[in-house]
Amino acid sequence: MKKLITLIMTVVIALSTLVIAPACSPVISGGDPNKTWLYVGNYNGGVGDKWLKEVEKRFEKKYENYQLNGKTGVDVILDSNKETTGKTLISSISQSKNEVFFHQQVLYFDYVNQSLIRDLSGLLERQNADDQNQTIKSKMYEKDIENLTVNGKIYALPHYECYNGLTYDAGIFLKNRLYFSNSIAEDGTRKFITNDNTPLSPGPNGISGDYDDGLPSSFEEFYKMIDRMKGKSVKSVIWTGEYTHYTNILITALYQSYMGVNGINAHVDFDSNGEEIEIVTDFDLITNAEKPTPMIQKEVITQENGYLVKQSAGLYYALEVAAKIFGSQDYYYKDSTAGNFSQISAMRTFMKSGLKPGETAAMLIDGNYWYNEADDYGIMEEVKSEYSEAYTTKQPRFMALPQKYSGTVMEGEGNAPTMIDSYNAYCFINAKTAENKVDLAEKFVAFCYTDSELKEFTKNTNGIIKGVKYDYNSIKSSLCDYAKGVVEMRAEAEKAGTYMKAFSNNTIFKANMNAFMVDGTSEFWESKVGGGSKYLYLAVRSDNYSAKDYFNGMKITQSTWENTYNK
């Protein structure tokens, strides 16, 4: 026993001497002491930091003769991690060394109100000789300028855009004849394709020969498609069971698609600009007891009746689709409900679906950033080396979702896809940046927003678009097929005006962002059923609640609206 004591004591005393030195190495290590350091913080999920590492090299090269405090050159020091998002950074930014930030889920108005970030107005108006004398402001969308302006000043720049949705595997769709053909049956519905060469339907946008051909153009067709999948023992969807909010991503995507830009604008602005929005007032349970039909009335949304955004038909239809999918294992990959089924596992399984024996999943629930993430994690390479030849049939594509409930879209009758970004990703400068470093920080931001860097960003992130105006179409040829599809959709949406950020500077929205943000984690999805949950998925599976029950539980009463939100 004495030996044991001696041993323990020796170890403890020896190790205690180490206490004076930090036990873990800090993430931000030092740089070249002869150069000026610029600290840059980056959220390392989704778009990752490969792009930023490339920017770092080019920026350091460009400013190799930059002079400050007797030092020559710049050393950009990256602090790239997934631990902090814009939501959590707010509590630590004042202690952070980082001077420039690229983060998502940024509570912009809170940052501004608490004076945590610098006013960028001057920088935005400055002409950049390295960028054909353009100003950054000239690249910003009008709506963003309007939304981000606080007391005449702008404190952040849109960073990247991501879209919630579904990714489908074109290979599995073709093999299992899941595409809709261009022929119409006697009952007016579309038939499915019967062979590889059957001409495809024009898809939701009504234009043949592009990215969405053969895809369901209405919610009815979507139902038909998932039932066909069920008939062929193909699981409709797969998602990570580790994060329950991924189930809300499906609902968000369907909701946004149905509502369109006007509907979502009405949601975040509580003002439909005189346009009438479909509101569900009640349900007809007599015609079909199993499938209640919503009774719809059209209403103009204003500040006074803003609570109606939680009664919209689009919301109900989205919940209805999701309830059907989550309600039966016939529609989803078995591991999706397991808490140990990580996001990466979901991506890997999706990529191997159809290639390996076992359950096949046709669609992945995730934001469009997943492809870049999977690529960064080496999943594409892994699957490619495992299934060398068969891998060529693997064709993941971002899905254009239906925008109407019933019928089908005929050639020339459709709409451009609704592309709504709700990730609130911004670039900003820390308010506590030393005055003599502000110039360098601004130079870095300006550099990141030059045309050439914006294009490089999209190239290095597998087609993720930066939230400003630039010619991303010109680099389409250098992108993978998945990214090309996203870029095509985004370009079409921009042209048609069906693109937006789900954000607003409306007073009610600003004061209640968490309650009305249109993303998977938002409390917008909260329903009173089952003791209160913000996941339809849980309510459907645990207590057999229907979409109708859940929808009714989501409602906000007029008095709550007046007393809590529109005070």
Partner 1 sequence: MAKKERAFSTERKKELIFYCLMFALPVLQILIFYFYVNFRSIALAFTEYDVESGKYFFVGVENFIEIFKGVHPKMTNFNMNFILSNTLLIFAMELLFGFIPAIFFSYYIFKKYPLSGVFKVILYTPHIVSTIIFVVIYRNFVESALPQISEKLFGLEMQDVFNQVNANSTRFFMIFFTIFIGFGTRVLLYSGAMSSISESVIESGELEGVKPLQELVFIVVPLIWGTVVTFLVVCIVGIFSNQMTAYSFFGEGLDTKYYTFGYYLYYRATKLDMTEYPYLSALGLLMTLFAVPVTLCARYLLNKYGPTTD
Partner 2 sequence: MKNGKVKQNRGVLAWILLFFLLLYSIILVGLLVWAIFVSLKTPTMWDDDKVGMPVGAPWDWQWINYIKVFKAFTFVEGPLANGSYIQASFLTMAVNSLLYAGGGAFVSTFACCIGAYLTARYKFKFSKVVYLFVVIAMVVPIIGSTPSMLLLLDRLGLYQTLFSVYIMKFNFLDMYFLVFFAVFDALPKDYAEASKIDGASEFQIMFKIMLPLALPTFATVMLIKFIELWNGYDFVLLYLRSYPTLSYGIYKLQKMNSPEMEHVTMRISASLLVAIPILALFIAFRNKIMGNVTMGGVKE
450 binds partner 1 (CB under 8 A): no
Contact in structure between 418 and 490 (CB atoms under 8 Å): no
339 binds partner 1 (CB under 8 A): yes
The DSSP secondary structure of 207-245, one letter per residue, reads -TTSTTTTS--BHHHHHHHHHHHHHTTEEEEE--SS-TH
> Which residue has tokens 């931001």?
445
Instruction: Return the SS3 of 45.
Output: coil
16 binds partner 2 (CB under 8 A): yes
Report CA torsion sign: 509, 513, 519, 522: negative
One residue of 36, 147, 201, 244 binding partner 1 per CB under 8 A:
244
390 binds partner 2 (CB under 8 A): no
**Residue 70 Rama label (left phi>0; alpha psi -120 to 50; beta):** left
One residue of 132, 340, 388, 477 binding partner 2 per CB under 8 A:
340
23 binds partner 2 (CB under 8 A): yes
Q: Are β-strands 67-68 and 127-128 bridged in parallel, bridged antiparallel, or unpaired?
A: unpaired
DSSP structure class, residue 30:
-
One residue of 34, 133, 149, 329 binding partner 1 per CB under 8 A:
329
One residue of 105, 252, 343, 433 binding partner 2 per CB under 8 A:
343
C-alpha distances (whole Å) from 465 to each of 136, 200, 487 are: 16, 28, 8
Tell me how far, at minimum, the Cβ of 31 lies from partner 2, in Å. 16
25 binds partner 2 (CB under 8 A): yes
511 binds partner 1 (CB under 8 A): no
One residue of 530, 553, 555, 556 binding partner 1 per CB under 8 A:
530
Give 504: exposed, middle or buried? Use CB within 10 Å, 0-12, 13-18, 19+: buried
One residue of 34, 67, 72, 81 binding partner 2 per CB under 8 A:
81
Tell me how far, at minimum, the Cβ of 40 lies from partner 2, in Å. 13
Which has the closest alpha carbon to 164: 81, 256, 241, 243? 256
Q: Which is nearer to partner 2, 46 or 203 (CB)?
A: 46
Q: Of 374-393, which residues contact partner 1 (CB under 8 A)?
A: none
Alpha helices (H) along 409-472:
435-448, 451-460
50 binds partner 1 (CB under 8 A): no
Give the amino acid at 565: Y
One residue of 84, 198, 336, 461 binding partner 2 per CB under 8 A:
84
Q: Which does 504 bind (CB under 5 to 8 A by kind): partner 2, partner 1, none?
A: none
One residue of 296, 344, 355, 556 binding partner 2 per CB under 8 A:
344
Distance (Å, whole) CA 200 – CA 221:
14
Phi, psi values for residue 497, rounded to 5°: 75, 25
Tell me how far, at minimum, the Cβ of 247 lies from partner 1, in Å. 11
Which has the closest alpha carbon to 127: 140, 113, 138, 112? 138
One residue of 6, 542, 544, 560 binding partner 1 per CB under 8 A:
542
> Which residues contact residue 196 at a Cβ distance below 8 angstroms, ignoring those fewer than 6 apart?
174
85 binds partner 1 (CB under 8 A): no
> Which residues contact residue 78 at a Cβ distance below 8 angstroms, ignoring those fewer than 6 apart?
40, 42, 49, 52, 53, 56
One residue of 199, 231, 378, 412 binding partner 2 per CB under 8 A:
378
What are the tokens at 109? 């108005």
What are the tokens at 224? 């038909």
31 binds partner 1 (CB under 8 A): no
Give kind and range of the element (H or E) at residue 428. strand 426-429
553 binds partner 1 (CB under 8 A): no
> Which residues contact residue 295 at a Cβ distance below 8 angstroms, ignoring those fewer than 6 apart?
280, 281, 282, 283, 284
Q: Which segment (23-31, 133-141, 145-153, 229-237) binds partner 2 by CB under 8 A? A: 23-31
Tell me how far, at minimum, the Cβ of 353 lies from partner 2, in Å. 11
Q: Which is nearer to partner 1, 469 or 541 (CB)?
A: 541
Tell me how far, at minimum, the Cβ of 367 lies from partner 2, in Å. 14
Tell me how far, at minimum, the Cβ of 184 lies from partner 1, in Å. 39
Distance (Å, whole) CA 87 – CA 384:
37
Which has the closest alpha carbon to 472: 160, 204, 148, 209? 160
474 binds partner 2 (CB under 8 A): no
Contact in structure between 317 and 278 (CB atoms under 8 Å): no
Count of residues interacting with partner 2 (CB under 8 A): 49
**Residue 359 Rama label (left phi>0; alpha psi -120 to 50; beta):** beta
One residue of 79, 213, 278, 442 binding partner 2 per CB under 8 A:
79
One residue of 349, 372, 422, 546 binding partner 2 per CB under 8 A:
349
Give 179: exposed, middle or buried? Use CB within 10 Å, 0-12, 13-18, 19+: buried
> Which residue has tokens 């302006």?
149
Q: For partner 1, what does the binding mask look like between residues 128 and 167, x meaning CB under 8 A?
A: ----------------------------------------
One residue of 335, 359, 413, 494 binding partner 1 per CB under 8 A:
335
Instruction: Return the SS3 of 337.
Output: helix
295 binds partner 2 (CB under 8 A): no
Q: Which does 96 bind (CB under 5 to 8 A by kind): partner 1, partner 2, none?
A: partner 2
531 binds partner 1 (CB under 8 A): yes
28 binds partner 2 (CB under 8 A): yes
Contact in structure between 546 and 288 (CB atoms under 8 Å): no
What are the tokens at 217? 């153009």
338 binds partner 1 (CB under 8 A): yes
73 binds partner 1 (CB under 8 A): no
Q: Which does 348 bind (CB under 5 to 8 A by kind): partner 1, partner 2, none?
A: partner 2
Binding site for partner 2 (CB under 8 A): 1-2, 4-5, 8-9, 11-12, 15-16, 18-19, 22-28, 45, 79, 81-84, 88-89, 91-97, 242, 340, 342-345, 348-349, 356, 358, 376-379, 386
Binding site for partner 1 (CB under 8 A): 241, 244, 329, 335, 337-340, 530-533, 537-538, 541-542
